[in-house]
Amino acid sequence: MVARGTLRRVEVEMQPLVLDADDGTTWELMLPAGWVLDAEPGARVTVTGDAVTDMATTSMVGPLLRVRSLSRAD
C-alpha cells in the first residue's frame, strides 16, 4: 500500500513515529532495523509498506504500517 501524509512523534512513553495520512488514518510506522530516517517530524512524505494485522504495540496510536520505503513528498 502507498500512503501520503505528514510525519509526527506522538507524546506517549516511546514517542512512536506516526504518519498522519491524507485520508485521516494515523499509522504507527514500523521501520526496518537499523534504518536511518531521511525526514523529520513535520515533513510531508510518501510511504510504501504493508499493513500489519497480527501485532499490537503498547502505544496503540493507530494501525501498524511496516515501512518498505519512505520518501519526501513533492
Tally of residues, the chain: 74
Residue 24's pLDDT is 96
| Domains, the chain, with CATH or none | 2-72 (2.40.50.500)
> Which tens digit of pLDDT belongs to each residue from 14-72?
778 999 999 999 999 999 999 888 788 899 999 999 999 877 777 778 899 999 999 99
SS3 42: coil
Residue 51's pLDDT is 94
Q: Residue 24, by phi and psi: left (phi above 0), alpha (psi -120 to 50) or beta?
A: left
Q: How far is the C-alpha of 4 from the C-alpha of 20, rounded, in Å?
A: 8
